[in-house]
Amino acid sequence: MTRTAHLALVPRDGLFCKDGRGWHTSASGRGHALDWPWPSTILGALRSAWGRAEEASRGALFSSDDWRSRTAGVRLGRTLVLRRRHGAPWSPTDTTWPVPADALWLEGLGEVYRLEPFKPLAPTRGRDEDMARERLLRPVVTTAGKPLIPPRWWSSGDFSAWLSGCSVAVRDRHDLLATARRVQTHVGILPETFTAHEGVLFSHDVIETLDPRAEWAIGAEVALPDGAQFGTVTLGSDARLARVESLPAALFEPPPSLLEAFRSPSQGLRVVAVTPLSFRKGWLPDDFDESDGSYRGRLPGIDHEVILRAAFVPRPIHVSGWDMAFGRPKPTSRMVAPGAVYFFERTDRLPFSETDARSIWSGTLGARTDEGFGRVAPGVWNPARSTP
284 within domain boundaries: no
27 confidence band (pLDDT: 50, 70, 90): low
Q: How many CB atoms lie within 10 A of CB 210?
A: 16
Structural domain tally of the chain? Answer: 1
- Check residue 259 and give its pLDDT: 96
The candidate with the shortest Cα–Cα distance to 362, out of 78, 140, 73, 149, is 78
120 within domain boundaries: no
Entry pTM: 0.91
Residues β-bridged to residue 377? 272
**Residue 8: left if φ>0, alpha if ψ -120 to 50, beta else—which one?**
beta
The answer to whether the beta carbons of residues 277 and 369 sit under 8 Å apart is no
245 within domain boundaries: yes
Give pLDDT tens digits for 182-224.
888 878 888 888 887 777 777 788 889 998 889 999 999 999 8
Q: Report which DSSP code applies to 160.
A: H
Q: What are phi and psi of 77, to 5 degrees?
A: -100, -125
* Signed CA dihedral, 276, 280, 286, 289: sign only: positive
Strands 2-11 and 214-225: what pairing? antiparallel
367 within domain boundaries: no
35 confidence band (pLDDT: 50, 70, 90): confident
- Check residue 331 and give its pLDDT: 85
Three-class SS of residue 383?
Answer: coil
Residues β-bridged to residue 294? 291
The answer to whether the beta carbons of residues 30 and 203 sit under 8 Å apart is yes
**Residue 301: left if φ>0, alpha if ψ -120 to 50, beta else—which one?**
left
Q: How many residues does the chain have?
A: 388
Give pLDDT tens digits for 96-134.
999 999 999 999 899 999 999 998 877 776 666 788 888
Strands (DSSP E) found in 159-288: 181-189, 196-207, 214-225, 232-235, 240-246, 268-273
CA 372 vs CA 11, 75, 149, 219: distances in Å:
19, 8, 28, 11
188 within domain boundaries: yes
15 within domain boundaries: yes
220 within domain boundaries: yes
Range of the domain at 37: 2-96+178-250
* Dihedral angle computed from the Cα positions of residues 311, 152, 234 and 42, in that order, rounded to the nearest 10 degrees: -20
316 within domain boundaries: no
- Give the whole-angstrom CA distance, residue 100 versus residue 327: 36
